[in-house]
Amino acid sequence: MSAINTGDLFTVEGHGVIVTGGASGIGLGYVEALAGKGARVTIFDIDPRRIEAEVGRLRAAGLDVAGQVLDVTDHAALETAVDSVADHYARLDAVFANAGIDSGPGFLTGWAGEDRPRAPEGELERYTDQRWNRVIEVNLNGVFATVRAASRHMKVQRRGRIVLTTSLAGRRVEPAIGSAYMAAKAGAAHFMRCAALELAAYGVTVNAIAPGFIVTNIGGGHAKAAAVQQRMARAIPLGRVGLPADLHGLALFFASAASSYVTGQEIVVDGGWGLG
């Protein structure tokens, strides 16, 4: 029997990777996890200031990271950008469809605990078309366009990894978040399964990471408030809020050979918050 060698399972050295929304929070965590293991990573993000700061910081640390200002709602620009990154790397190993926005207040305020008054501005009868459409445009249509652009390359090369960032809120209603967010994330999760089934014949896997409560800049960085974190820590079985680094392991798993036989799966990373 040959010796078992699991040493290369999580290798992403030299891989060509794109992360949308990679200049902050969870996406930036993916960038750090993959570039830290030798991948060549390009960030697509709408925030030029953050791109410049983070790309500068990571390059100074010796990582092969680049950035491009790009809005995932501009599907034509997205396709051109994916083409040029794939050409530049002469390969496209993994694409993270991660860019997303908060949808403003839901019908309850606060994140956890018993004192959660209703928020009239978040209730359904006041929910504007504009607000609904914007969230669907970024969090669902932007994911569709990213996966489509990635599939055009990966299908031809007959390999690739596509990873979506969905949410616990796509599986369980979280009243503090507006309903468009939940609809978009649930839609993205099922679209992920659909794309996984279609692309499996070409050796391309499509999976999703569904975070719980992670401290990032989303929604103006509300998760950074100490009082919010303390309240959440009491509600989360593992006893603390999540950080982007808590997603590093799963990002490497889905991007590497370690997940070769896994497709169409959404894995929740929430410290047990969704358990009840």
Ligand X SMILES: NC(=O)c1ccc[n+]([C@@H]2O[C@H](COP(=O)([O-])OP(=O)(O)OC[C@H]3O[C@@H](n4cnc5c(N)ncnc54)[C@H](O)[C@@H]3O)[C@@H](O)[C@H]2O)c1
173: Cβ contacts below 8 Å, ≥ 6 apart:
182
**Residue 140 binds ligand X (CB under 6 A):** no
Rule CB under 6 A: choose which of 15, 37, 50, 153 binds ligand X: 50
Q: How many residues bind ligand X (CB under 6 A)?
A: 30
Per the CB < 8 A criterion, the answer to whether 16 and 34 are in contact is no
**Residue 229 binds ligand X (CB under 6 A):** no
**Residue 216 binds ligand X (CB under 6 A):** yes
What is the closest distance, in whole angstroms, from the C-beta atom of residue 95 to ligand X in the complex?
Answer: 13
Among the listed residues 89, 181, 202, 261, the single catalytic one is 181
Per the CB < 8 A criterion, the answer to whether 160 and 203 are in contact is yes
Stretch 28-47 residues interacting with ligand X (CB under 6 A): 44-47
**Residue 174 binds ligand X (CB under 6 A):** no
Per the CB < 8 A criterion, the answer to whether 187 and 171 are in contact is no
What is the amino acid identity at position 26?
Answer: I
**Residue 100 binds ligand X (CB under 6 A):** yes
Q: Is 181 a catalytic residue?
A: yes
**Residue 23 binds ligand X (CB under 6 A):** yes
Q: How many CB atoms lie within 10 A of CB 16?
A: 23
Q: How many CB atoms lie within 10 A of CB 11?
A: 16
Alpha helices, DSSP H only, in the chain? 25-35, 48-60, 75-89, 129-136, 142-157, 179-199, 218-221, 226-235, 248-255
Rule CB under 6 A: choose which of 112, 218, 228, 235 binds ligand X: 218
Dist. CA 125–CA 179, nearest whole Å: 12
Cβ-based nearer residue to ligand X, 25 or 271: 25
**Residue 26 binds ligand X (CB under 6 A):** yes
Per the CB < 8 A criterion, the answer to whether 203 and 263 are in contact is no
**Residue 55 binds ligand X (CB under 6 A):** no
- Can you spell out the DSSP letters for 49-77? HHHHHHHHHHHHTT--EEEEE--TT-HHH
Cβ-based nearer residue to ligand X, 218 or 257: 218
Region binding ligand X by CB under 6 A among candidate stretches 95-103, 149-157, 224-232, 248-256? 95-103
> Which residues carry out catalysis?
181
**Footprint of ligand X on this chain (CB under 6 A)?**
20-21, 23-27, 44-47, 50, 70-73, 98-101, 138, 142, 165, 167, 211, 213-214, 216-218
